[in-house]
Amino acid sequence: MIIVMKPHAPEDAVQRVTKAVESKGLETHLSRGKEVTIIGVVGDKNRLCNDNILLLPFVDKLVPITESYKLVNKKFHPEPTTVTVGNHIIGPNTLTVMAGPCAVETREQLFIIARNVKAAGAQILRGGAYKPRTSPYSFQGLEEEGLRYMQEAGREFGLNTICEVISQEAINAAVKYVDMIQIGARNMQNFQLLREAGKSGLPVLLKRGIAATIDEWLNAAEYIISEGNPNVVLCERGIRTYETATRNTLDLSAVPVIRSKTHLPIIVDPSHATGVYSYVPPLAKAAVACGADGLMIEVHNDPEHALSDGPQSLTFDRFDRLMEDLNPYIQLSERTL
Amino acid sequence: MIIVMKPHAPEDAVQRVTKAVESKGLETHLSRGKEVTIIGVVGDKNRLCNDNILLLPFVDKLVPITESYKLVNKKFHPEPTTVTVGNHIIGPNTLTVMAGPCAVETREQLFIIARNVKAAGAQILRGGAYKPRTSPYSFQGLEEEGLRYMQEAGREFGLNTICEVISQEAINAAVKYVDMIQIGARNMQNFQLLREAGKSGLPVLLKRGIAATIDEWLNAAEYIISEGNPNVVLCERGIRTYETATRNTLDLSAVPVIRSKTHLPIIVDPSHATGVYSYVPPLAKAAVACGADGLMIEVHNDPEHALSDGPQSLTFDRFDRLMEDLNPYIQLSERTL
Amino acid sequence: MIIVMKPHAPEDAVQRVTKAVESKGLETHLSRGKEVTIIGVVGDKNRLCNDNILLLPFVDKLVPITESYKLVNKKFHPEPTTVTVGNHIIGPNTLTVMAGPCAVETREQLFIIARNVKAAGAQILRGGAYKPRTSPYSFQGLEEEGLRYMQEAGREFGLNTICEVISQEAINAAVKYVDMIQIGARNMQNFQLLREAGKSGLPVLLKRGIAATIDEWLNAAEYIISEGNPNVVLCERGIRTYETATRNTLDLSAVPVIRSKTHLPIIVDPSHATGVYSYVPPLAKAAVACGADGLMIEVHNDPEHALSDGPQSLTFDRFDRLMEDLNPYIQLSERTL
Amino acid sequence: MIIVMKPHAPEDAVQRVTKAVESKGLETHLSRGKEVTIIGVVGDKNRLCNDNILLLPFVDKLVPITESYKLVNKKFHPEPTTVTVGNHIIGPNTLTVMAGPCAVETREQLFIIARNVKAAGAQILRGGAYKPRTSPYSFQGLEEEGLRYMQEAGREFGLNTICEVISQEAINAAVKYVDMIQIGARNMQNFQLLREAGKSGLPVLLKRGIAATIDEWLNAAEYIISEGNPNVVLCERGIRTYETATRNTLDLSAVPVIRSKTHLPIIVDPSHATGVYSYVPPLAKAAVACGADGLMIEVHNDPEHALSDGPQSLTFDRFDRLMEDLNPYIQLSERTL
């Protein structure tokens, strides 16, 4: 960290700051310019307890030099991570497609969808059993029963499975039935849940919070990995902006930014980002073109009667066509399904 | 809800929509304009399962008429709610001041702060025992030990107490020690935690999520109340915008907006909103002037050495002066401390 | 437009609204539901003078049915527009590449850049002669001299030319020298300038304002076209959000959204959107993959010494490689350079 | 400015940076830490041509130390500025109220409004003669005729006058008729117009752009003052966020922030910020309470029939009551009307 003093800060103000820093067991390094004195701080910034130094007289600003996340940081782990989910490997050589309904509604519905997404080329079946809903009066999911259907559908059609968890209880159930758990956007800073996901042993898909900076997102991943679970995949799913033509604003720039900051894989969810099925195919192609490691796509046998998120779900026909159209883009990115 | 058909939608498209709606047990009411046909839907909108109607041919848009929240809705409960916390009543006749450190650090620190905020006029002692922190390497709070200190300080100085909870476990501990629990911004859509807070029996301070709309915030309150706990107080604490001169952008318009939509009390937290102690007094006055029911203010005996959020904490001197300066504003709002 | 009355609005309130509407020469169409009465308004909404109807007793909300823009609206002009710039046609069959320096610095600099972007395949040379700069002390451009260099470089290397205009005076100069003018993000709602651009007779590239909704953007295009100039091309260049990892957040969803609302072509500028040269190639590919009609890319012979926006400029090598890499994506989109 | 090198940057990379800086006539000051080397730059940052230094090998980030605005900077001009408009002084001792219709509609309308706002205590009459409208089909103002009515009404009732300008032509007309001109939010970065406003000699009210940072806003003020016109007043009028319950989000934190950065006066416009008349009084009180130098309030004799912005306009009764209610708040702020 660098501490920048205000112009013409007196000598005793500078000394007070260096003493405050050194009293925490850190070293300082002074640089006196004509007008401005700068104090470099060497050592573990966490000892400084945040930004209190700002309160000392004549301190102008603090400039962080190192990121607060370590385990997810590309600087200390330059090679891209691969994450194994059941019999599938997510990473730089594959293009992972997670497809399925927003919510598991019935065993029959899930089976017909699973058969179709498998035939089209998806490797992982998605389906929500615990639904975080804005209104307490909306459908909240089949819970453990839904997880059991996920496991049965996965086995029947040779698909790996992923399901969102929203509580310790849901994690306890999920480890019995599915191959990967998902932390949704609303829980990205539910630090308790992140720690529990870290302890679960299952690979974790971590969605970006609806107003999370990339830094906060990577710190959330750090929570999971710091519990000893290195199998984290990030998922960009749109951020909240003033624009209302789409449900959220898909931030595809996040793909190259994430690539430059971390070794973790990143996939993109154009269904939740846009909320409109007809925008999903062009943005799915764009995601592959800019280097994403995979896609999460909502597919439903009967979107008109889906219990949630019908308008953004692809029918089987549309999903089949998308998977065909994606093929040359996947080849251009030197990946295989 | 109103369903607006596209211009010149054919008759069979209109019929398909009305049938779809009626098959869910709802009534329709048709209005045929020269170009546009509109279908009014009468009955419980939740039966329609979201916005799937949008997928039917020639449907242009859906217009909700009623809010999804009921119990917090001013339409059905026009009188302002009062919430009792220990021996203090939050509501239209009082100006509630919750003050204290961001985090409980030691018993001694908490006692000296409690004595001072009590002397200055605060009715409720705040202090974090479970801290949600962006980085897993930051100080995370004293947990149950911190709650115990809160109880002891409250008893010693005649203060009521509030503490943030971040898990079921924290709620279980909190009910033993404090008078009110707080759901923080990051957990505003942790629906599991909202339900558990609803079941706890304690009054709940619900902070607005960092990117939450007022509608989402009121739906989150609905989760708590729908568990049988009517004692909810809302807290505006700044929203995330592009502006970085303050940590968040305090949305004081939310005070009159909330007043027009719900009967629940609303307080304002200028400390977390701005992140800068010198901005706290002017915005505290502004909050009282625009009708807030109270304030949450961070106060610390030694902000330079605070374990979190030092730069936004008031010293005792500054807090004393603020409380004096607030007095005429409180009188103008026809409230008492 | 639809006027929604509050639940149980009395008959005389309904009558007052219908009379107010009809007094403006518009027709009404009543729909009485059990609880809610809805009044459809038929005719030219502009006569109603905005939203004043909201002030009448028992009016709950207004729901617009038709967009305020007409000439740019796909509903009334379903075929995609092509825009001719010099000897190049922008439209559904071509992939247009506008490349060049942020600012024209010297004749020599411009010529060396023009030669290189031409060789790499660009059809239009971009270069700023009038620079809108946040600080009055930054380099503001060569003005008319810069335009003359643009014309000379265009002729020398067989390139068409585009230059930003920021005033009537700049437009007057531009019509003498360049093939297309650009309205920048900061002037997207400078309605005076939009009208003057409409009268200029030159094709216009209209960049999206930094906080403009898609609706406002299309209304800005309507200003230009309503002056009799149909040759408008839209340019997505990033919007302002809370995220600071990139300069702006490139909104690629805008490409399919724009495609569904208007017949005008849309191109994408990943250079200004991200501000970082290494993010430009992946997002350029993504833009082509999701259906953009073209790209605007900053290229500089010596980015380290560029007078503006060096960090986002591609060197010749990087631009050559990008153009090669783009080729298969252009083919997949069934376009030609 | 400080240049931060990447960890373990080699000596020749450091040397390359220092040479690049020194070749522009600037001085450098090196500080070598254990891991990170920092290069302080002393001299006029504008010579460095932006951020190109970022492109040199091993450069990690640039940290600006000084603001790019000088003339508006409180550091170099600590005393608050007063701005004289006709016979009224805007500054730390007065509370300025600018009131009137959004648009001048007729001479009669303006006169009746002027009489009433004068009687209630306003010192400056506002009224738009050139209206920037999102749609080209909306009412665009009476132009010079409107300005003449403003002058006549001002003289008749002893009010000073302010009118928005949107072009050089409008400025030329305004100098003949009114006492102060306004640059609206949409033109805050129309740098041509800012310079012309600077040359006009009239005091200027500069509204904050809808997505402008405080830094950009102050740089826009710098444009005006750098033309020799020191009479600039800032106006906070809401920023664009994701929240739609109000038209914009009024950023009252901007009042103390602006106070800490510049000597210019700042007033607040709660009418345009919220778009809803009933939210105007509480936020007007809040603005005075947090230290604003004044208010801009829309008042209309007949809001239901206003040609623009009726829903946010106060009737005479409501404006009278607001002015009465404001009185004790004005006294508390040690100002007079």
B278: closest chain D residue by CA: D256
Give the full edge-to-edge strand order of the sheet including D37-42: D27-32, D37-42, D2-5, D59-63
Higher pLDDT among residues B1 and B194, named by residue = B194
- Chain A CB contacts of B207 under 8 Å are none
Tell me the two tokens of residue D159. 């009010």
- Chain A CB contacts of D242 under 8 Å are 240-242
Question: Taking a contact as any Cβ pair under 8 Å apart, which residues of chain D between 239 and 258 contact chain C?
Answer: 240
Dihedral over Cα of B53, A321, A331, C266: its sign: negative
Alpha helices in A207-315 (DSSP H): 214-225, 254-261, 270-274, 280-289
Name residue A77's amino acid: H
Q: How confident is the model at residue A335 (pLDDT cuts 50, 70, 90)?
A: very high
Q: C273 and chain A: CB distance < 8 Å anywhere?
A: yes
Looking at residue D42, its pLDDT comes to 74
E strands, chain A, in order? 2-5, 27-32, 37-42, 59-63, 83-85, 88-90, 96-100, 124-126, 160-165, 180-183, 204-207, 232-236, 266-268, 294-298
Residue written as token pair 């339900």: B195
Q: What is the residue-averaged pLDDT of chain C?
A: 93
Contacts by residues D61-66 (CB-CB < 8 Å, ≥ 24 positions apart): D61/D4, D62/D1, D62/D2, D62/D3, D62/D4, D63/A2, D63/A4, D63/A63, D63/D1, D63/D2, D63/D3, D63/D4, D64/D1, D65/A4, D65/A36, D65/A60, D65/D1, D65/D2, D66/D1
CB contact under 8 A, D4 and A65: yes
> Chain A closest CA to C252's CA: distance in Å?
7
CB contact under 8 A, B289 and D282: yes
Q: What is the residue-averaged pLDDT of chain A?
A: 93
- Chain B CB contacts of C29 under 8 Å are 31-33
pLDDT in tens, chain D (337 residues): 888 888 789 999 999 999 988 888 888 888 777 777 888 887 766 656 567 888 889 998 888 777 889 999 998 899 999 999 999 999 999 999 999 999 999 999 999 999 999 999 999 999 999 988 888 888 889 999 999 999 999 999 999 999 999 999 999 999 999 999 999 999 999 999 999 999 999 999 999 999 999 999 999 999 999 999 999 999 999 999 999 999 999 999 999 999 999 999 999 999 999 999 999 999 999 999 999 999 999 999 998 888 777 889 999 999 999 999 999 999 999 999 9
- Chain C CB contacts of B75 under 8 Å are 7
Residue written as token pair 């934190």: D253
CB contact under 8 A, A242 and C282: no
Residue C30 pairs in a beta bridge with C39
- Chain C CB contacts of A234 under 8 Å are none
> Chain D closest CA to A145's CA: distance in Å?
37
Top residue of D31, D35, D61 to mutate, by most chain A CBs within 10 Å, is D31
pLDDT in tens, C15-39: 999 998 888 888 888 877 777 788 8
CB contact under 8 A, C189 and D306: no
C39: closest chain B residue by CA: B31
Q: Are C303 and D54 in contact (CB under 8 A)?
A: no
Dihedral over Cα of B71, B75, B77, B78: its sign: positive
Can you tell me the mean pLDDT for A4-31?
Answer: 88
pLDDT in tens, C74-99: 988 999 999 999 999 999 999 999 99
Residue C129 backbone phi and psi in degrees, to 5: -110, -25
Per cent of chain A over pLDDT 90 is 77
Q: Are D265 and B274 in contact (CB under 8 A)?
A: no
Residue C41 pairs in a beta bridge with C28
pTM over 0.80: yes
> Chain D closest CA to C39's CA: distance in Å?
18
Write the residue in A249, A279, A282 that is nearest to C249 by C-beta. Answer: A249
Rounded CA-CA distance A176/A168 in Å is: 13
CB contact under 8 A, C192 and D167: yes
Looking at residue A308, its pLDDT comes to 77
Question: Taking a contact as any Cβ pair under 8 Å apart, which residues of chain A between 1 and 60 contact chain D?
Answer: 2, 4, 7, 27, 29-36, 38, 40, 42, 60
CB contact under 8 A, A245 and C211: no
- Close Cβ partners of B76 (under 8 Å, ≥ 6 residues apart): B70
- Chain C CB contacts of D139 under 8 Å are 49
CB contact under 8 A, B30 and C29: no
- Chain C CB contacts of B63 under 8 Å are 2, 4, 63
CB atoms within 10 A of CB D93: 13
Rounded CA-CA distance A193/B193 in Å is: 11
Can you tell me the mean pLDDT for C201-218?
Answer: 97
Q: B76 and chain A: CB distance < 8 Å anywhere?
A: no
Question: Taking a contact as any Cβ pair under 8 Å apart, which residues of chain D between 177 and 236 contact chain C?
Answer: 186-187, 189-193, 210-211, 216, 219, 222-223, 226
Higher pLDDT among residues D311 and A156, named by residue = A156
> Chain C closest CA to B272's CA: distance in Å?
17
Can you tell me the mean pLDDT for A141-167?
Answer: 96
- Chain B CB contacts of D246 under 8 Å are 253, 257
Distance spanning both ends of chain D, measured CA to CA: 44
ipTM confidence: 0.93
Looking at residue D76, its pLDDT comes to 85
Rounded CA-CA distance A219/A213 in Å is: 10
Rounded CA-CA distance D109/D128 in Å is: 13
CB contact under 8 A, D290 and B282: yes
Can you tell me the mean pLDDT for A5-26?
Answer: 89
**Could you tell me which of D110, D204, D180 has the C-alpha nearest to residue D150?**
D110
Write the residue in A211, A257, A279 that is nearest to C279 by C-beta. Answer: A257
Write the residue in C211, C239, C285 that is nearest to A290 by C-beta. Answer: C285
D249: closest chain A residue by CA: A242
Per cent of chain B over pLDDT 90 is 77
Rounded CA-CA distance B227/B217 in Å is: 16
Looking at residue A208, its pLDDT comes to 98
Q: Are C309 and D50 in contact (CB under 8 A)?
A: yes
